[in-house]
């Protein structure tokens, strides 16, 4: 439908950092021959691909067991930092490891309140400046600011069970955790994406740049 609607215009790629469009061409403007093809395909799909009832691949007991684990307030379930293992930890141990890391003042400071409330106007001002200087268009400005209320960042850890148990935070009991702060949908999530788009091509030109482990070990 979209190709038929714009058949008289050349192909153009939207500029980066533009919200995805959910626009659909008006049905009244679609050529008759295209309408017939669409209608024929819909009738074919309806006749050939009936939705059948989905049979579960887990027994009732297995579903109940998983639900019980999911709702158990005494444990934390996380993927291991390395490998494909699933780790089940006592919640008290997980929280203790989190407090141990967050209390290290070399890396963390305690805030009295979230700072994203102050950061949001700064991000908006930067986006407005880029727009005023014609570096971005109005759609890109909307994308960089974000259309939803920013989500607070979440701190969590992936247990490093590959480490020697003798060297765990609490030997043989509490493995160290790899700290991760989820930045998804934060107030700077989209502007960070914008910066990465322009800075990454420059960073890989540095003579000391290594793409990954294979690059390091390669000939």
Per-residue pLDDT tens digits for 78-90 = 999 999 999 999 9
CB within 8 A of 93, min separation 6: which ones? 170, 173, 174
Contact between 119 and 191 (Cβ < 8 Å): no
Per-residue pLDDT tens digits for 140-180 = 999 999 877 888 889 999 999 999 999 999 999 999 999 99
As a whole number, the mean pLDDT across the chain is 89
pTM for the model stands at 0.72
Question: What pLDDT is attached to residue 164?
Answer: 96
Instruction: Map out the domains of the chain as residue ranges.
Output: 1-6+15-48, 67-208
Model confidence at 94, in pLDDT bands (50, 70, 90)?
very high
The average pLDDT across 15-38 equals: 81
Q: Is the pLDDT of residue 53 over 80?
A: no
Question: What pLDDT is attached to residue 7?
Answer: 63
Model confidence at 212, in pLDDT bands (50, 70, 90)?
confident
Alpha-carbon gap, residue 219 to 214, rounded angstroms: 9
């Amino acid at each position: 439908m979209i190709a038929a609607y714009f058949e008289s215009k050349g192909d153009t790629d939207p500029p980066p950092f533009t919200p995805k469009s959910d626009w659909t061409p008006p049905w009244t403007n679609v050529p008759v021959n295209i309408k017939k093809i669409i209608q024929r395909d819909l009738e074919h799909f309806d006749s050939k691909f009936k939705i059948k009832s989905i049979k579960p691949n887990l027994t009732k007991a297995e579903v109940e067991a998983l639900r019980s684990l999911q709702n158990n307030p005494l444990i934390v379930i996380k993927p291991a930092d390395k490998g494909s293992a699933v780790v089940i930890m006592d919640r008290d141990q997980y929280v203790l490891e989190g407090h141990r890391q967050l209390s290290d003042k070399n890396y963390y400071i305690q805030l009295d309140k979230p700072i994203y409330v102050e950061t949001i106007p700064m991000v908006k001002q930067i986006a407005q400046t880029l727009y005023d200087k014609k570096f971005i268009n109005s759609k890109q400005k909307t994308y960089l600011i974000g259309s939803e209320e920013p989500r607070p960042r979440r701190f969590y850890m992936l247990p490093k069970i590959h480490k020697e148990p003798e060297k765990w935070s609490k030997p043989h009991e509490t493995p160290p955790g790899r700290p991760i702060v989820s930045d998804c949908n934060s107030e700077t999530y989209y502007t960070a994406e914008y910066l990465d788009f322009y800075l990454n091509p420059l960073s890989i030109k540095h003579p000391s740049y290594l793409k990954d482990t294979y690059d390091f070990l390669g000939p």
